[in-house]
Amino acid sequence: MSGEDDSKLEVSEEQIKEAEVCKETANKYFKEQNFDEAVKWYSKAIELNPNVAVYYANRSFANLRQEAFGYALSDASKAILLDKSYVKGYYRRAAAHMSLGKFKLALRDFETVTKARPNDSDAKKKFLECTKIVRKLAFEKAIAVDKKNVADTIDLAGMAIEDDYFGPKLVDDKVTLDFMKKLMDCYKNQGKLHRKYAYKILLDVEQLFMKQPSMVEVHIPDDKKFTICGDIHGQFYDLMNIFTLNGLPSPDNPYLFNGDFVDRGSFSVECIFTLFGFKLLYPDHFFMSRGNHESVTMNQMYGFEGEVKSKYTEQMAHLFTEVYNWLPLCHCLNNRVLVMHGGLFSRDGVKLDELREIERNKQPPEDGLMCELLWSDPQPQDGRAPSKRGVGVQFGPDVTHRFLKDNGLDYVVRSHEVKADGYEVAHDGKCITVFSAPNYCDTMGNKGAFIILNGKDMKPNFTTYEAVVSTKS
């Protein structure tokens, strides 16, 4: 590493001092976990003095915490450009690469860090973790040709139910309402569903999703209500609170859960089996869209894969991947409202017929319609911009209006972003975000929300709620 960049801009002593004050203010906000404000103040410091690598590395870290991986990557690279010997820059860039699933690039940066700091135990741990993932991916790629469907390898008949198992049981291999109530009670008491029933639910729900198109069309009668929930992220007790506030799913109380059911929270397994159970119980009145976290890379990075291996088996983790590949990508309600996890597209002229025909049985690609449905975000200004996440696109009000007009729709609903009130109405009321995981990651302090509409006017009504504090450890 050869030191600092020579092409620095001239900055006055006054600007240098003022920039340091902005950085300290930003640091204070960061410690309070107010990452929005932290980013604003780091940006002010950079405007005053764009020559300091630390400012970019700090802003990179704040962006990482907000899942703005694209911005985090750009800032870390700028920090390295300013000072090639600045180790934290490489550390931040490695973390951004990891978050985007670019493990080989992350490994290269972690290698730089460990060479510069051979005694840094955290850097060494991350380097080894990344090395394992790269080797595992290489191995899986090498054997992919001979790989069978995991579903075909499951031997349900060979799984015995032990005499001391007192948890919920499927009746005649079917999910019933009684089973679902017992399952939720079991989970509330930190119990566990027997692996035989867990595998059975996964195999059955995979068959159900395989029969659905990539865009599911939902009819809501004039006099019926319909509920849309956003990200749940493994927050089981908050999921239970939604059902307490709004009633259990039923033919008269249909739900759509709009992706990101797992990762981050500690009870992702409990959340996903509850949701899959209701999908099997009410296949025509309970709907689930794929989110960007229903993917291998995200599940490796943010906890779900490890949780499944801990509570069940590695084989089940692979089966989940297979099931997620068949989740529908979006839902069209009464031909008036399109609901997807992420957002709209990098080109105009996309029609609903194209969404129906997307080949979805795969891991999300890095571009194209499927990627954008899972990853894109709205922006307040017109036009399009590169995504702050490094995947997908940011789209403005004009993009939303053209898409709605082209397809005869009223508005779009999406999730994917934490909002202080649990929801946000943007783009002149035509683009609504709903996020249902309150106090996200136990740190964000946000409310959760869900949307209720009825078939007649399709007008969105919002219910907000605070996080539930579990009494269980």
Q: What is the chain's length?
A: 473
DSSP for 40-77, please give it.
HHHHHHHHH-TT-HHHHHHHHHHHHHTT-HHHHHHHHH
Active site residue 318: no
DSSP for 396-451, please give it.
-HHHHHHHHHHHT-SEEEE--S--TTSEEEETTTTEEEEB--TTGGGTS-PPEEEE
What is the four-CA torsion angle of 21, 27, 32, 33, rounded to 10 degrees? 130
State residue 287 phi and psi, 5-degree precision: -125, 150
Contacts with 259 (C-beta within 8 Å, 6 or more apart), sequence order: 230, 231, 288, 289, 290, 291, 292, 293, 294, 341, 374, 415, 416
Angle at 464 between CA 461 and CA 467, to 5 degrees: 160
Catalytic residue among 194, 233, 285, 293: 293
Closest CA to 239 of 180, 198, 192, 295: 180
How is residue 67 written in tokens? 């899942």
How is residue 253 written in tokens? 């109380």
CA distances from 269 to 191, 196, 261, 348, 356 (A): 12, 15, 9, 38, 29
Closest CA to 319 of 211, 209, 232, 206: 206
Which residue reads 């129906």 in tokens? Answer: 356
Question: Catalytic positions, please?
Answer: 293
